[in-house]
Amino acid sequence: MRVLLTILALVSLTGCQYNPYANQFTTAQPKPEDVTGTYALTEQTISPDGLSVLQGRQCQFDLRSDGTFSVTNYPTWSYAFSDGSGKFVAFVSGAGHWSCDTVGTVSDGSTSQSYWGVRFTDCNTNIDDALAFTGKAPPYGLIMTYGDPDSGTVMIFKKK
């Protein structure tokens, strides 16, 4: 019986995964004036090509205090590989409206907390509808998680 319990415990521990960026999510509501500004893509783990996939272009979001935004050279992806990595498809640029809102929950195993981010609406292009804020205090960053959060497949934006 003890062997069976040990096996079950090991299986449950190895089956439990963890988002490697979870500790960076912003769990306290940020002030609007602390999140407006320009965010540039500084890292991506979707493809093994890193930022070279941008072909020398700069990808950035501009979040304006009037609730509008623009995005330039946002890379879009398809999941074409068996290892879960993505393939770059195209750049999109566009504009619309943004709002600060909760965009998900994160758990430490015993308690769950909502985390904050940006929701995009009325966009005239195909971008993801929400990105999470990172950081516990300004300046905040932005992170887009693709697919299974435990895989660490992300695009990371830093505030300029």
Write down the pLDDT at residue 81. 54
pLDDT means per 10 residues, the chain with 160 residues, are 37 55 95 97 91 92 97 86 73 94 88 94 83 97 89 93
pLDDT the model gives residue 2: 44
pLDDT at residue number 128: 79
Q: What is the pLDDT of residue 102?
A: 96
Give the model's pLDDT for residue 5.
33
pLDDT at 24: 95
Q: Which two tokens stand for residue 59?
A: 């990808």
3-state secondary structure 30-73: CCHHHHCEEEEEEEECCCCCHHHHHCCCCCEEEECCCCEEEEEE
pLDDT for 111 equals 87
Helix ranges (H only) for 1-158 are 2-15, 32-35
Residue 135, Cβ neighbours under 10 Å: how many? 17
